[in-house]
Amino acid sequence: MKNILIVDDEPDIREILRYNLEKEGFNITEAVNGDDALDKVSKDLDLAILDIMMPGNDGYEVCRKIREQGNTVPIVFLTAMDREFDEVRGLEVGGDDYIRKPFSPRMLIARINAILRRVDQINSKGSRITFGDLEINTLTYIAKLDDNELHLPRKEFELLAFFMNQPNMIFSREELLSKIWEEDVFVVDRTIDVHINRIRSKLGIYKNWIETVKGVGYRFRPKI
C-alpha cells in the first residue's frame, strides 16, 4: 500500500482528497500546514500533495526544505493560481507535477498513478551507472562525485540519469520535457535550461560533460 501525505489548510479539500485516494487503496496522512507537513515527512512516504497558498511555510518553501534534506519523494502541487510563473517556480524548487483547483479527482488520481508507476519502473531497474568519478544509482536515487554525495532534487537526478544512460546522444528540449515530465504537465523550455544549469553547478570540473548543442539541445559527453 502506497503512503500519501496531503498538505492543505482547507479541511474540505483534505476530506475530498482523503475520500478519493482511500477508495483507490492509498494510505493517507494529513497535515494542516507547512510546519505540520515537515514533521510528518518520513522515509516511508511515497508521494506528497502540497497546497501552495498556506499560512507560514507555503508549498514552495516546504518543497524546498524537503529537497534540502535529500528527500526525493514525488511532490504534486495543488493550487488555485493560474500563472505560468507559479508553475515554473513549483517545478524549479523540485516539484513533480502541478494540479489546479478546482480539480477532477479522477484526473488527480491518474496523475498520481502515472508518477508512482514511473518511480517504480526506475527503482525496478536498480542500475548503477559510472563514468570516471561520477556515479549514480537509480535504485537509491543517489548520485556521487569523487565519493561525495550530490544533493540532486528528483528532476535533476532523472535528467542526469537519462543523459548517463545514453551518452553522446543529442536531445532537444522538447524531447527532454516529454521524457522527464508527464506530457500533460505544463512546463516551458526555460525549465530544462534551469535544471541543466543547476546540474552543471554541482558537477564541478565535470560540468562540461553536459554540452549545449547550439540550435539543437543537449548531450552528455564524458571526457574519459
91-135 residue pLDDT tens: 778 888 888 888 888 888 988 988 888 777 666 655 788 898 999
Q: Which residues pair with 30 in a beta bridge?
A: 6
Please give the Cα distance from 44 to 57 (Å, whole number).
23
Q: Give residue 22's pLDDT.
A: 96
Please give the Cα distance from 53 to 38 (Å, whole number).
16
Classify the C-alpha dihedral 140-156-208-164 as positive or negative. positive
124-146 residue pLDDT tens: 655 788 898 999 988 778 899 99
Average pLDDT along the chain = 86
From the number of C-beta atoms within 10 Å of its C-beta (0-12, 13-18, 19+), residue 17 rates as buried
The residue type at 1: M
From the number of C-beta atoms within 10 Å of its C-beta (0-12, 13-18, 19+), residue 209 rates as buried
Backbone angles phi, psi at 126, to 5 degrees: 55, 35
Domain boundaries, the chain: 3-122, 126-220
Please give the Cα distance from 22 to 28 (Å, whole number).
7
The residue type at 72: T
Residue 153 has pLDDT above 90, yes or no: no
CATH 1.10.10.10 is the classification of domain 126-220: yes
Q: How confident is the model at residue 18 (pLDDT cuts 50, 70, 90)?
A: very high
Q: What is the DSSP letter of 52?
A: S
Q: According to DSSP H, which parts of 32-141 are helical?
A: 34-40, 59-68, 84-92, 105-125
30 neighbors 16 (Cβ within 8 angstroms): no
- Which fold, 3-122? Rossmann fold (3.40.50)
Q: Give residue 220's pLDDT.
A: 95
> Strand, coil or helix: what is 91?
helix
Please give the Cα distance from 218 to 197 (Å, whole number).
11
The residue type at 28: I
Complete DSSP assignment for 159-202: HHHHHHHSTT-EE-HHHHHHHHS-TTS---HHHHHHHHHHHHHH
Residue 85 has pLDDT above 50, yes or no: no
